[in-house]
Amino acid sequence: MGQFAAGFKKWMVIAAGLAMLLVVLLVSQFLIFEKDEGYQATAFAMGSYVQQTLYGTDAEEVSSDAAHAVTELEQLISWRVDGSDIAALNQAAGEEAVQLDVRTMDVLSRALSVAQATNGAYDPTVLPVSSLWNFDTDEPMLPDQVDLLDSLENVGYGFLTMNEAAQTASLAHQGNGVDLGGIGKGAACDAAVEVYRASDVDAAIVAVGGSIGLYGSKPDGSDWLVAVRDPNGTQNDSLGVLALQDGFVSTSGSYEKTFTVDGQTYHHLLDPNTGYPAQSDLVSVTVVCENGALSDALATACFVLGLEDSLPVLRAFDAEALFIDQENRITIAGDLSFELRSSSYTVSRQEL
């Protein structure tokens, strides 16, 4: 073998090796560039932080439309907004039926359906009581007990009548009032997802406070991962992750809005039957279903009802749930795919 031939062969091998390395590098860079991080947008609406991540065409424009849809919904269903549908309905209580936007009708009828199915554990007519507690403001307060019991007389979903054909609703007596606070964030997710559906985006996730709407499949086809907040941690601590293909997720937790008077802590999840924060052994309920408004109202209802009484309700609405109790026990009702990532909790399953 001549020296030249051997040298040539050697350089051929080196060149081939480098070429292969180059191919590997190019392919991996290609893969990295291909990983779609999505377009992120944030806003404040519904008294919450609104976060969106969108994948695909026109993401920026669509996210802006979705944020707009959420704000529009707030202008319709917030009882605090002068001239909103719900403000008008409350104003006309005991007098006349009020014409409502189709979006308001949709949210209100879902609210009513959950109220009926839960015997008022969730009740949209809770305003006379909720307005005394003021949990949706910066300054919640402990109401006077006599005032509270008086106001409780005016709470009851039976006072609310809806006429789907005429697209109207009415409240029976002066003093009745609707507060859609317990359903608004979930309904806002519905509004955003409706915008995604009508657009060219491939996939998107919207979070309005603790409610989440999922649309489409992520670019890599993997499940959406929704972290469940650790009730004993801060805003950034999660105890585990739900893997979901689509749908809506809402959580009601007693840690969300609280205040303390004379050593007693009061949380914002009011039991419409007592007028006081629900006395439940739960600290949080996460509900997954096919509609955002329903998931939100059901999460509130299930918190008030407790685990046992929630099961028939979940079945009726084809929903699944994750309950966390004060003993750090997690109970998953249904087939939800959940990965526990905290050693402080235990998980068990409950058939639905």
Partner 1 sequence: MSGRFPLFRKRDLLVFLVAFLLAAAGFWRWIPSDDALIAVVEQNGEVVKRVDLERVTEPETLTLEGDVTVTVLFEPGQVSITNSDCPDQVCVRTGVLTRSGQSAVCLPARVAVRIEGENASGADGMTG
CB 328 within 8 A of CB 344: yes
- CB of residue 224 vs partner 1: minimum separation in angstroms? 5
Quick one: 104 or 286, whose CB is closer to partner 1?
Answer: 286
Q: Which residues pair with 205 in a beta bridge?
A: 53, 214
Q: Which is nearer to partner 1, 174 or 337 (CB)?
A: 337
The smaller minimum CB distance to partner 1, of residues 177 and 247, is found at 247
Q: What is the bridge-based pairing of β-strands 258-261 and 238-244?
A: unpaired
- H/E stretch holding 72: helix 59-77
CB of residue 166 to partner 1, shortest distance in Å? 37
CB of 171 to partner 1, least distance (A): 29
Query: Min. distance of Cβ 241 from partner 1 in angstroms?
Result: 5
Least distance in angstroms from the C-beta of 207 to partner 1: 5
Interface contacts to partner 1, rule CB under 8 A = 1, 3, 6-7, 9-10, 13-14, 17-18, 21-22, 25, 28-29, 32, 37, 40, 42-44, 47-51, 53, 67, 138-139, 205, 207, 210-212, 218, 224-229, 231, 234-236, 238, 241-242, 249-251, 253, 257, 284, 286, 341
Three-state SS string across 220-276, please?
CCCCEEEEEECCCCCCCCEEEEEEECCEEEEEEECCCCEEEECCEEEECCECCCCCC
The residue among 41 and 127 lying less far from partner 1, judged by its C-beta, is 41
Q: Nearer to partner 1 by C-beta: 136 or 150?
A: 136
Closest CA to 228 of 245, 253, 257, 203: 253
The nearer residue to partner 1, 109 or 238, going by C-beta atoms, is: 238
The dihedral formed by the CA atoms of 177, 100, 49 and 234, expressed in degrees to the nearest 10: 40
Smallest separation (angstroms) from partner 1 to the CB of 277: 16
Pick between residue 51 and residue 350 the one whose CB is nearest to partner 1.
51
CA distance 127 to 87: 11
Give the nearest distance from C-beta 278 to partner 1 in angstroms. Answer: 17
Minimum CB distance to partner 1, residue 118 (Å) = 21
What whole-number distance in Å separates Cα of residue 292 and Cα of residue 223? Answer: 18
Q: What is the C-alpha separation between 154 and 19, in angstroms, rounded?
A: 79
Read off the DSSP letter of residue 137: S
Output 9 or 173, the one with its CB closest to partner 1: 9
For the bound state, the minimum distance from the C-beta of residue 65 to partner 1, rounded and expressed in Å, comes to 15
Helix axes 307-316, 292-305, angle to 10 degrees: 150
Task: Name the phi and psi angles at 153, rounded to 5.
Answer: -60, -30
Nearer to partner 1, 70 or 155 (CB): 70
Quote the CA–CA distance of 205 and 193 in Å, as a whole number.
Answer: 8
Q: Which two tokens stand for residue 147?
A: 């005032």
CA 313 – CA 132 distance, rounded (Å): 29
Other beta carbons within 10 angstroms of residue 197's beta carbon come to 11
